[in-house]
């Protein structure tokens, strides 16, 4: 019986010739990741277990991104704990103020993660790295602690759903619309503990930024991971960037999938996820009566350069609607700097937006954009649960950067194709 792409990566890292869905394995890890919220908990567990060394100081990654620069004493203490651990064990990939970025944009950008890797991260959106052909998944802080010490993790091998992509996206439609459409089709538990494996001739038409966005939100369908094949787009992205030699894994022709879903990219339109679940999807063009108070463009889902460009193309030379607050957050310092060099930051400010240094901030209701009672935000983030961005009566609508920017100009949810 053949194996899927994910199963092949897991088999190789477990030292096995064959694995099957449901099998429990111990696998060697290429990377372990934590942030300023989850790493302090992992450090506590690491020390409680009596560990006094890390398995490889070049393979552990600690990124301060949720509350950086620190918003209060508690977040400052959390960052201090991470700094002390990183210094003690000489962690090579430690990213603090000035070097930080949102972790799931930073690691691919820096070439730290590469094709064929097996990665765990104490953050649910670690599944992002499937975009470069890696198996990556989120775990708890205890698993992160064990991973840092031993370089191993246990997994239940996931079954798979094949997502066949055909056609090509329209100009104002992006990877965010693809994944929102898919989640709307199958629901937030439609891929529970399964691998979402994207294939088809439409894959070649998607940029790496599109793929990173799509894999980032695989968890919002309950998936263990999302993954794309390693093709010319992947190779072009990794060449000159990847810090290590990569390995290409391909699904067997007779690989077993529990379900096959086909999506015609050319038929997709701008999509919005209404409160309070990502599966509650509607077309942007049918949402024009929904008035908004705030716009957030950024996050590990949509804070990359193409996302900034999409916002710039809509906002340049325009002014945001009265009464609307617009927060733009480039996902890494390199992207932040590029926005300045290209004149996009000036255009954003001239339009009436505020531009932040990289942070997860508002996505999780942390800071830099907390919502008050009954306020509505259209956001390029990945979750819109009750109280996710602030007050329990506030509402978050998930959308692409193009939809978010268009909505900023009108004050209502707007399809950018109608501008």
Q: What is the pLDDT of residues 12-44, one digit of tens each?
A: 999 999 999 999 999 999 999 999 999 999 999
204 lies in which domain range?
A: 5-264
Average pLDDT score over residue span 163-178: 97
Flag whether pLDDT at 100 surpasses 90: no
Q: ω into residue 276 within 30 of 0, thus cis? A: yes
- Do 299 and 394 fall into the same domain? yes
pLDDT at 34: 97
Q: Are 174 and 208 in contact (CB under 8 A)?
A: no
Closest to 110 in 3D by CA, of 90, 125, 131, 95: 95
The tokens describing 135, both together, are: 């198996």
Closest to 265 in 3D by CA, of 210, 219, 228, 196: 210
Q: Quick one: pLDDT band at residue 1, thresholds 50, 70, 90?
A: confident
The tokens describing 179, both together, are: 């994944």
Last residue of a domain, one of 241, 264, 287: 264
Task: Give me the helix-helix angle, 73-88 and 39-48, nearest 10°.
Answer: 50
CATH of the domain at 294: 3.30.499.10
- Do 197 and 241 fall into the same domain? yes
- Do 27 and 75 fall into the same domain? yes
Alpha-carbon gap, residue 75 to 100, rounded angstroms: 15
Flag whether pLDDT at 392 surpasses 90: yes
Q: What is the pLDDT of residues 138-150, one digit of tens each?
A: 999 999 999 999 9
Q: Are 153 and 143 in contact (CB under 8 A)?
A: yes
- Do 185 and 319 fall into the same domain? no
Angle at 365 between CA 332 and CA 318, to 5 degrees: 60
- Do 152 and 224 fall into the same domain? yes
Q: Quick one: pLDDT band at residue 48, thresholds 50, 70, 90?
A: very high
- Do 283 and 136 fall into the same domain? no
User: If DSSP states are collapsed to H, E and C, what string results for 267-316?
Assistant: HCCCEEECCCCCCCEEEHHHCCCCECCEEEECHHHHCCHHHHHHHHHHHC
Looking at the structure of the chain, the number of domains it has is 2
Q: Are 111 and 238 in contact (CB under 8 A)?
A: yes
- Do 200 and 258 fall into the same domain? yes
| Total Cβ atoms within 10 A of residue 36 | 27
Percent of the chain with pLDDT over 90: 98
Alpha-carbon gap, residue 11 to 342, rounded angstroms: 45
Alpha-carbon gap, residue 357 to 119, rounded angstroms: 27
- Do 152 and 71 fall into the same domain? yes
Flag whether pLDDT at 177 surpasses 90: yes
Q: ω into residue 357 within 30 of 0, thus cis? A: no
Residue whose entry in the numeric block shows the structure tokens 């509650």: 280
Q: What is the pLDDT of residues 296-319, one digit of tens each?
A: 999 999 999 999 999 999 999 999
Last residue of a domain, one of 232, 264, 296: 264
- Do 233 and 113 fall into the same domain? yes
pTM of the shown model: 0.96
Q: Are 248 and 221 in contact (CB under 8 A)?
A: no
Q: What is the pLDDT of residues 313-372, one digit of tens each?
A: 999 999 999 999 999 999 999 999 999 999 999 999 999 999 999 999 999 999 999 999
- Do 230 and 351 fall into the same domain? no
With a CB cutoff of 8 Å and minimum separation 6, the contacts of 370 are 362, 389, 390
Alpha-carbon gap, residue 399 to 348, rounded angstroms: 19
Q: What is the mean pLDDT of the chain?
A: 97
Closest to 408 in 3D by CA, of 352, 364, 345, 368: 352
- Give per-residue burial for 192-224: e unless 16+ CB within 10 Å, then b: ebbbbbbbbebbebbbbbbbbbbbbbbbbbbbb
- Do 322 and 245 fall into the same domain? no
pLDDT at 157: 97
Last residue of a domain, one of 245, 264, 283: 264
- Do 309 and 285 fall into the same domain? yes
Closest to 285 in 3D by CA, of 172, 168, 183: 172
The size of the chain, in residues, is 419
Q: What is the pLDDT of residues 188-247, one digit of tens each?
A: 999 999 999 999 999 999 999 999 999 999 999 999 999 999 999 999 999 999 999 999
């Amino acid at each position: 019986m053949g194996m899927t792409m994910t199963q092949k990566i897991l088999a190789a890292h477990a030292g096995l010739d064959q694995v099957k869905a449901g099998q429990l394995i111990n696998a060697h890890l290429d990377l372990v990741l934590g942030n300023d919220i989850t790493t302090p908990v992992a450090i506590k567990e690491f020390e409680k277990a009596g560990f006094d060394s890390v398995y490889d100081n070049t393979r552990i990654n600690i990124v301060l991104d949720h509350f950086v620069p620190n918003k209060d004493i508690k977040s400052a203490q959390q960052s201090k704990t991470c700094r002390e651990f990183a210094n003690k064990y000489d962690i090579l990939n430690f990213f603090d103020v000035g070097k930080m970025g949102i972790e799931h944009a930073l690691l691919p950008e820096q070439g730290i993660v590469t094709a064929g890797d097996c990665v765990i991260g104490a953050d649910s959106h670690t599944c992002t790295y499937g975009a470069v052909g890696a198996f990556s998944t989120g775990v708890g802080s205890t698993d992160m602690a064990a991973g840092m010490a031993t370089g191993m993790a246990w997994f239940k091998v996931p079954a798979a759903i094949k997502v066949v992509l055909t056609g090509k996206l329209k100009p104002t439609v992006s990877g965010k619309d693809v994944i929102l459409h898919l989640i709307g089709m199958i629901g937030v538990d439609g891929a529970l503990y399964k691998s979402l494996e994207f294939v088809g001739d439409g894959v070649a038409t998607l940029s790496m930024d599109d793929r990173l966005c799509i894999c980032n939100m695989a968890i919002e369908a309950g998936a263990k991971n999302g993954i794309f094949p390693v093709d010319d787009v992947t190779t072009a992205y990794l060449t000159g960037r990847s810090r290590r030699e990569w390995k290409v894994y391909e699904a067997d022709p007779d690989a077993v999938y529990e379900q096959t879903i086909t999506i015609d990219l050319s038929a997709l339109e701008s999509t919005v996820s209404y409160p309070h679940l990502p599966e509650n999807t509607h077309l942007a063009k049918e949402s024009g009566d929904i008035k908004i108070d705030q716009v957030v463009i950024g996050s590990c889902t949509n804070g990359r350069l193409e996302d900034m460009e999409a916002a710039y193309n809509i906002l340049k030379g325009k002014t945001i609607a009265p009464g609307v607050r617009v927060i733009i957050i480039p996902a890494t310092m390199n992207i932040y700097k590029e926005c300045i060099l290209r004149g996009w930051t000036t255009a954003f400010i001239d339009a009436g937006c505020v531009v932040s240094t990289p942070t997860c901030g508002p996505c999780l209701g942390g800071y830099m954009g907390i919502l008050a009672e009954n306020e509505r935000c259209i956001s390029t983030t990945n979750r819109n649960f009750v109280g996710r961005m602030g007050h329990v009566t506030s509402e978050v609508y998930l959308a692409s950067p193009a939809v978010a920017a268009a909505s900023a100009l009108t004050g209502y949810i707007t399809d950018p194709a109608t501008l």
